[in-house]
Amino acid sequence: MIKKRYTAFLVDDSEDDRLFMQLILKRSSKLVVIGEARDGQEAIDYLKGEGVFSNRQIYPMPDVLLLDLKMPGKNGYDVLQWLKTQSFNDLTVVVVSGSWLAEDISKSLALGAHGYFKKTSVKEEQEVMVHGIENILKEHRLES
C-alpha cells in the first residue's frame, strides 16, 4: 500500500547520529520519525510490542526501520537475524552504517535488509540517501 507519508524508526547507539538522522529526514516530506532505540534489544522490544510498547496507539509499528550496525549488546545483525524469525511483511529495513566494507554490505543484504547507506555529513550525499530510502519504501510496498 503506497502512502503519502511513511513512518521511520531509528536504531543507533550514537545520540549524535540519531540527531543528524532526525534533521536529515526533516527535509523529506515523505518521511517522519516516530521513535528511536539506543540498541538492538530496545529495537526488538519495541517491534515485539511487549510491555509498555504493547500500546500501539502511542507506539505504532513503523513503515521503515533505519538500523545502525555497530551497537553494544545486540547489534544490527542481531536485529536482522531476529526479524527473519518474525513475519513483519510490511516492515522495510534499511541499514545506515559508518562502515563501507563490502562484507558488511553483503552480510546485511543477505540477512534481509532492503537497502544499505553509508552515514555521511555531506548534504548532497544525504539527499541521495533520503531519495534512496523513499524509493526503497515505494518498491517494497509495490511488491507486497
Partner 1 sequence: MASSLAIQRHSNHLVEESMVSCVRTQKTENMSHTSHKANILIVDDREDKHLAMEAIIADLGQNIVHASSGREALRHLLRQEFAIILLDVNMPGMDGFETAHLIRERKSLENVPIIFVSAVSDTETHVSRGYSLGAVDYILAPIVPEILRAKVSVFVELFKITEQVKRQAEDLRFAHSELEIRVKKRTEELAIANESLQVEIKERQRAEENLRKLNIELEQRVSDRTAELCAANQEMENFTYSIAHDLRAPFRQIHGYTEILQDDFFTTMSPEVQNYIKRIGLKARDMGQMMDDLLNLYGIANQTFEYQKIDLSSITNEVISSIKADMTDRSIEWHLGKFPTLLCNYSLMKQVFDNLISNAVKYTRTRTPAKIEIGCDRVNNEEVMYVRDNGVGFDMKHVDRLFGLFQRLHRTEEFEGTGVGLALVSKIIRKHGGRIWAEGKINEGATFFFTLGKG
Any contact of residue 41 with partner 1 (CB under 8 A)?
A: no
Give which of 97, 75, 85, 91 is closest to 136, Cα–Cα: 91
Q: Pick the piece of the chain touching partner 1 (CB under 8 A) from 1-9, 10-18, 42-50, 81-89.
A: 10-18
How far is residue 5 from each of residues 18, 129, 136, measured CA to CA in Å? 20, 17, 14
Amino acid at 56: R
d(CA 11, CA 55): 20
- Asked whether position 120 contacts partner 1 by CB under 8 A, the answer is yes
Distances (CA, A) of 132 to 20, 25, 84: 17, 12, 23
Contact yes or no for 96/108 (Cβ under 8 A): no
Select from 119, 129, 136, 137 the one that contacts partner 1 (CB under 8 A). Answer: 119
Host H or E run for residue 22: helix 15-26
Region binding partner 1 by CB under 8 A among candidate stretches 13-21, 45-53, 57-65, 136-144:
13-21
Residue nearer to partner 1 on the CB measure, 49 or 98: 98
Q: How far is the CB of 99 from partner 1 (least distance, A)?
A: 7
17 vs 78, which CB is nearer to partner 1?
17
Interaction between residue 75 and partner 1 (CB under 8 A): no
What is the torsion angle, in degrees rounded to the nearest 10, for the CA atoms of residue 59, residue 115, residue 22 and residue 101? 130
> Please, which residue, 121 or 144, has the CB nearer to partner 1?
121
Using CB under 8 A as the binding rule, whether residue 14 contacts partner 1 is answered as yes
How many residues touch partner 1 (CB under 8 A)? 15
Binding site for partner 1 (CB under 8 A): 14, 16-17, 20, 23, 98-102, 119-123
